């Protein structure tokens, strides 16, 4: 949860970046097949995001030039695109190098996320920091086993509205606040080898969210009653011969959530209690259930001696089982899955770039040595007060409008959770889920004019079609994706 530029002031504020190339989603996914992809690999990095990860991307030099290819570099996994500019030759402002398209990521606990998503995920944020539940847990594949990588998470504002719970549903309620200090959560294992990341699922369970803009602990700072989309980044930190450089980022639409200081939807509360092992005490049979709490209050009022807690009772019967894992997830709704992700990016041209610290990115090195030095910095502000990232300014395409206006469809009843796949949502009558998500995918800058849509911030499970609107123009996907990577 640190801002790299804070740690590496010598890198300066940001690099000039080449304007995001057109292509967007189509550059990342074969047209017509995108719906199959589970994770969304963002093809281009917008200026702000790029600056955030700049220190992790050794291939860029300060002048925005690509360094020349290393003759000793190992072969690229895929044919490298021609390098029109030789080493040292001036380039248009460079975009960060990308990891090869073979790098893939999937969401491990996707079914759990989908169940929350179907109701409208809420995340508690507190001054001292609160963990996410469900937690972000991903599997990575396609990395160079020997090269070093960092895994990072940041949060992208979704929509530019603030939201309000209206008893049964969420509604947009005014403009979003100015973005909080921009921070990145760095997985504590970072930097680690590709083999390490690929060995087992990577969990970001230690990630904490806070609404304290002065937070000194490095938690991710968010505004309450706003909607966010987590984004996972793989950043090459170099390896033997400089392999592994480059960046790739992934979003999982079902992980979008609304921040709250207290749960609004009772359904979410119940689901959290049922799913989160830490909330076990609040389950029906728990000692912190409503029934037990009421009984406790009565006893207290009567002045009774406290009965032994369940913990004590259990421990008398035998060892407290604190080692067992979380309870098994309830059966997942069928047919909610996307197909495994693939990605199709031009090879990043990573290994032609030198690696300053013996194969390890200096930023990674510095993080290991001075983790406390990472703290958030306010990113450059865009004209609207938002960071000038397409991700951060998606309002045009995706901002949910207040529900209840004439012409606004009533809140859609929750879908049958046994089948999250939506096939019959009338276009534009009820918003394509993707539109809201689409903003996260970068819609808004170069996409088509945003249709005037009104819909609540939460919709049932993201419909697969949101990834691949049928044919052109589909601009909000095509052009929109360029904002993220």
Partner DNA sequence: TCTACTGACACCTTTGAAACGC
Partner DNA sequence: AGCGTTTCAAAGGTGTCAGTAG
Cα 422 to Cα 425: distance, rounded to the nearest angstrom: 7
**412-417-421-423 Cα dihedral, nearest 10 degrees:** -40
What mask, x for binding DNA by CB under 7 A, covers residues 197 to 216? Answer: -----------x--xx----
Eight-state DSSP code of residue 424: -
φ and ψ at 308, to 5 degrees? -60, 140
Q: From the list 37, 53, 56, 165, which residue makes contact with DNA (rule: CB under 7 A)?
A: 165
Closer to DNA by CB, 311 or 418: give it. Answer: 311
Q: From the list 224, 249, 342, 361, which residue makes contact with DNA (rule: CB under 7 A)?
A: 224
**Closest approach of Cβ 320 to DNA, in Å?**
6
Closer to DNA by CB, 196 or 421: give it. Answer: 196
- Candidate ranges 148-156, 280-288, 400-408, 434-442; the one touching DNA (CB under 7 A): 280-288
Determine if residue 112 is left, alpha or beta; phi over 0 gives left, psi from -120 to 50 gives alpha, anything else beta: alpha
Strands (E) across 92-241 are located at 104-107, 122-124, 130-131, 137-141, 148-157, 161-165, 170-175, 185-186, 192-193, 202-203, 208-210, 220-221, 227-238
Burial of 183 (0-12, 13-18, 19+ CB in 10 A): buried
- Candidate ranges 279-287, 391-399, 408-416, 437-445; the one touching DNA (CB under 7 A): 279-287
Cα 74 to Cα 141: distance, rounded to the nearest angstrom: 19
Residue 323 interacts with DNA (CB under 7 A): yes or no: yes
φ and ψ at 163, to 5 degrees? -120, 160
Closer to DNA by CB, 199 or 299: give it. Answer: 299
Residue 267 interacts with DNA (CB under 7 A): yes or no: no
Closer to DNA by CB, 113 or 165: give it. Answer: 165
Closer to DNA by CB, 10 or 302: give it. Answer: 302
> 3-class SS at 158?
coil
- Candidate ranges 34-42, 73-81, 89-97, 266-274; the one touching DNA (CB under 7 A): 266-274
Decide if 459 contacts 433 (C-beta within 8 A).
yes
Closer to DNA by CB, 325 or 449: give it. Answer: 325
**Closest approach of Cβ 419 to DNA, in Å?**
26
**Closest approach of Cβ 406 to DNA, in Å?**
22
Q: From the list 12, 145, 326, 340, which residue makes contact with DNA (rule: CB under 7 A)?
A: 326
**Closest approach of Cβ 323 to DNA, in Å?**
5
**Closest approach of Cβ 164 to DNA, in Å?**
4
**223-227-229-230 Cα dihedral, nearest 10 degrees:** 40
Decide if 275 contacts 133 (C-beta within 8 A).
yes
Residue 372 interacts with DNA (CB under 7 A): yes or no: no
Closer to DNA by CB, 134 or 447: give it. Answer: 134
Closer to DNA by CB, 324 or 424: give it. Answer: 324
Closer to DNA by CB, 65 or 208: give it. Answer: 208
**Which of 330, 277, 260, 379 has the alpha carbon at shortest distance from 109?**
330
Q: From the list 281, 385, 402, 448, which residue makes contact with DNA (rule: CB under 7 A)?
A: 281
Angle at 230 between CA 228 and CA 231, to 5 degrees: 135
Cα 103 to Cα 347: distance, rounded to the nearest angstrom: 10
Closer to DNA by CB, 52 or 272: give it. Answer: 272
**Closest approach of Cβ 318 to DNA, in Å?**
8
**Closest approach of Cβ 135 to DNA, in Å?**
7
> 3-class SS at 433?
helix
What mask, x for binding DNA by CB under 7 A, covers residues 113 to 142? Answer: -----------x-xxx-xx-x---------
Determine if residue 244 is left, alpha or beta; phi over 0 gives left, psi from -120 to 50 gives alpha, anything else beta: left
Beta-strand pair 208-210/220-221: parallel
Residue 62 interacts with DNA (CB under 7 A): yes or no: no
Cα 267 to Cα 167: distance, rounded to the nearest angstrom: 12
CB neighbours of 397 closer than 8 A, spacing ≥ 6?
435, 438, 439, 443, 444, 447, 450, 476, 480
**Closest approach of Cβ 92 to DNA, in Å?**
42
Q: Say how many residues touch DNA, by CB under 7 A.
A: 48
Cα 57 to Cα 350: distance, rounded to the nearest angstrom: 9
**Closest approach of Cβ 114 to DNA, in Å?**
18
Residue 85 interacts with DNA (CB under 7 A): yes or no: no
Alpha carbon distances (Å) from 298 to 285, 293, 304, 305, 306: 18, 9, 9, 11, 11
Q: From the list 277, 340, 427, 472, which residue makes contact with DNA (rule: CB under 7 A)?
A: 277
Residues 302-321 that bind DNA (CB under 7 A): 309-311, 315, 319-320
Closer to DNA by CB, 225 or 440: give it. Answer: 225
Binding site for DNA (CB under 7 A): 124, 126-128, 130-131, 133, 164-165, 173, 208, 211-212, 224-225, 260-264, 269, 272-273, 276-282, 286-288, 290, 292-293, 296, 309-311, 315, 319-320, 322-326
């Amino acid at each position: 949860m640190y801002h790299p530029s804070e740690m590496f002031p010598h890198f300066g504020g940001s690099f000039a970046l080449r304007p995001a190339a057109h292509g967007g989603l189509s550059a990342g996914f074969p047209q017509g097949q995108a719906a199959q992809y589970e994770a969304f690999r963002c093809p281009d990095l917008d200026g702000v995001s790029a600056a955030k990860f700049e220190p992790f991307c050794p291939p860029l030099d300060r002048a925005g030039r690509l360094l020349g290819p290393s003759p000793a570099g190992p072969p690229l996994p895929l044919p490298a695109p021609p390098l029109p500019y030789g080493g040292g030759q001036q380039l248009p402002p460079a975009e960060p190098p990308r990891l090869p398209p073979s790098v893939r990521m999937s969401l491990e606990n996707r079914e759990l996320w989908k169940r929350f998503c179907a109701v409208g995920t809420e995340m508690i944020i507190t001054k001292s920091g609160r963990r996410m539940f469900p937690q972000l847990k991903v599997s990575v594949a396609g990395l160079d086993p020997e090269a070093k990588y960092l895994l990072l998470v940041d949060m992208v504002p979704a929509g530019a509205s603030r939201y309000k719970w209206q008893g049964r549903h969420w509604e947009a309620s005014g403009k979003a606040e100015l973005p909080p200090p921009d921070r990145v959560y760095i997985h504590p294992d970072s930097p680690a080898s590709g083999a390490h990341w690929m060995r087992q699922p990577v969990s970001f369970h230690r990630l904490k969210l806070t609404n304290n803009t002065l937070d000194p602990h490095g938690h991710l700072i968010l505004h309450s009653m706003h909607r966010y989309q987590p984004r996972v980044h793989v950043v090459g930190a170099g390896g033997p011969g400089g392999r592994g450089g480059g960046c790739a980022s992934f979003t999982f639409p079902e992980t979008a959530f609304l921040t709250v200081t207290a749960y609004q939807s009772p359904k979410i509360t119940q689901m959290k209690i049922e799913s989160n092992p830490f909330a076990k005490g609040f389950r029906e049979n728990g000692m912190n259930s409503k029934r037990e709490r009421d009984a406790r209050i009565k006893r207290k009022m009567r002045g009774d001696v406290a009965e032994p807690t369940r913990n004590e009772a259990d421990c008398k019967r035998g060892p407290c089982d604190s080692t067992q894992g979380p309870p098994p997830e309830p059966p997942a709704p069928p047919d909610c899955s996307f197909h495994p992700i693939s990605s199709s990016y031009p090879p990043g041209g990573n290994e032609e770039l030198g690696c300053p610290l013996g194969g390890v990115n200096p930023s990674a090195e510095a993080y290991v040595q001075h983790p406390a030095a990472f703290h958030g910095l306010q990113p450059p502000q865009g004209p609207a007060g938002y960071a000038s990232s397409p991700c951060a300014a998606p309002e045009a395409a995706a901002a949910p409008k207040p529900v209840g206006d004439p012409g606004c469809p009533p809140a859609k009843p929750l879908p049958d959770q046994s089948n999250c796949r939506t096939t019959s949502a009338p276009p534009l009558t009820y918003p394509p889920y993707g539109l809201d998500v689409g903003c996260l995918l970068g819609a808004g800058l170069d996409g088509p004019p945003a249709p005037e849509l009104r819909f609540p911030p939460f919709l049932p499970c993201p419909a697969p079609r949101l990834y691949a609107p049928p044919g052109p123009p589909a601009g909000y996907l095509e052009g929109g994706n360029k904002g993220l990577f």
